[in-house]
A and B are shown apart, each in its own frame.
Chain A
Amino acid sequence: MSLNVKTQQPVVISEKTLARVAELKSRFPEGKHKSALLTVLHEVQDENNDWLTVDAMDKIAELLNIKPIEVYEVASFYSMYNQKPVGKYMFEFCRTSCCVTRGAEDLIEYTCNKLGVKEGEVTPDGLFSVKGVECLGACGYAPMLQLGDFYHEFLTPEKMDQLIEDCKAGKVEKLSKV
Chain B
Amino acid sequence: MGKKILLEHVNVEGIHTYEVYRKVGGYASVEKALKMAPNDIVEEVKKSGLRGRGGAGFPTGMKWSFIDKKSGRPRHLVCNADESEPGTFKDRYLMEKLPHLLVEGMITSSIALEANLSYIYIRGEYMWVYRILERAINEAYANGWLGKNIKGSGYDLDLHVTCGAGAYICGEETALIESLEGKRGNPRIKPPFPAVVGLYGNPTVVNNVESLMNIPWIVENGGEEYAKIGVGRSTGTKLISASGNIRKPGVYEIELGITVEDFVMSDEWCGGMQTDRPLKACVPGGSSVPILPAHLLFKTAKDETRLMTYESMSDGGFATGSMIGSGGFIVYDDRQCVVRNTWNFSRFYHHESCGQCSPCREGTGWLEKVTWRLEHGYGSMADIDLLWDIQRKIEGNTICPLGDAAAWPVAAAIRHFRHEFEYHVRYPEKVKDRKHFEHEPWEQVKHLMTKQEAVLV
* Bound Cα distance from A73 to B168, whole angstroms: 17
B241 & A176 in contact (Cβ 8 Å cutoff) = no
B341 is an interface residue with CB less than 8 A from chain A: yes
B89 & A137 in contact (Cβ 8 Å cutoff) = yes
Question: Which of A27, A70, A78, A97 is close to B165, meaning CB atoms less than 8 Å apart?
Answer: A78
A38 is an interface residue with CB less than 8 A from chain B: yes
With both chains docked as a complex, state the minimum distance between the C-beta of B303 and any C-beta of chain A, in angstroms.
29
Interface residues of B in 149-194 (CB under 8 A from A): 158, 160, 162-168, 179-185
With both chains docked as a complex, state the minimum distance between the C-beta of B94 and any C-beta of chain A, in angstroms.
12
A78 & B166 in contact (Cβ 8 Å cutoff) = yes
A32 & B166 in contact (Cβ 8 Å cutoff) = no
Contact partners of A140 in chain B: CB under 8 A: 89, 241-243, 249-251
B365 is an interface residue with CB less than 8 A from chain A: no
With both chains docked as a complex, state the minimum distance between the C-beta of B240 and any C-beta of chain A, in angstroms.
10
A139 & B124 in contact (Cβ 8 Å cutoff) = no
Question: Which of B85, B126, B179 is close to A38, meaning CB atoms less than 8 Å apart?
Answer: B179
Of A11-19, A118-126, A141-149, A156-164, which stretch is located at the interface? Answer: A141-149
A176 & B200 in contact (Cβ 8 Å cutoff) = no
B125 & A139 in contact (Cβ 8 Å cutoff) = no
A42 is an interface residue with CB less than 8 A from chain B: yes
Contact partners of B84 in chain A: CB under 8 A: 134-135, 137
B181 & A96 in contact (Cβ 8 Å cutoff) = no
With A77-B167, A98-B330 already in contact, the answer to whether A139 and B200 are too (CB < 8 A) is no
B128 & A42 in contact (Cβ 8 Å cutoff) = no
Q: For the side of the interface on A, what is the size category? A: 35 or more
Interface residues contributed by chain B, number (CB under 8 Å): 58
Of B50-58, B210-218, B344-352, B372-380, which stretch is located at the interface? Answer: B344-352
Contact partners of B244 in chain A: CB under 8 A: 98, 101-102, 139
Chain B residue with the shortest CB-CB distance to A105: B434
A10 is an interface residue with CB less than 8 A from chain B: no
Interface residues of B in 340-395 (CB under 8 A from A): 340-341, 344-345, 348, 351-352, 354
Chain B residue with the shortest CB-CB distance to A45: B165
B131 is an interface residue with CB less than 8 A from chain A: yes
A44 is an interface residue with CB less than 8 A from chain B: no
With both chains docked as a complex, state the minimum distance between the C-beta of A94 and any C-beta of chain B, in angstroms.
9
Contact partners of A70 in chain B: CB under 8 A: 182-183
With both chains docked as a complex, state the minimum distance between the C-beta of B298 and any C-beta of chain A, in angstroms.
20
Chain A residue with the shortest CB-CB distance to B343: A97
B348 & A79 in contact (Cβ 8 Å cutoff) = no
Contact partners of B179 in chain A: CB under 8 A: 38
B241 & A135 in contact (Cβ 8 Å cutoff) = no
B127 & A137 in contact (Cβ 8 Å cutoff) = no
B165 & A81 in contact (Cβ 8 Å cutoff) = yes
B residues touching A (Cβ–Cβ < 8 Å)?
83-89, 91-92, 117, 123-128, 130-131, 158, 160, 162-168, 179-185, 200, 241-245, 249-251, 283, 287, 328, 330, 332, 336, 340-341, 344-345, 348, 351-352, 354, 434
Name 19 A/B residue pairs within 8 A (Cβ), A-sorted: A34-B183, A35-B162, A35-B180, A36-B182, A38-B182, A42-B165, A66-B182, A74-B182, A78-B166, A79-B167, A96-B345, A101-B332, A102-B245, A135-B87, A137-B83, A138-B92, A139-B86, A139-B244, A151-B128
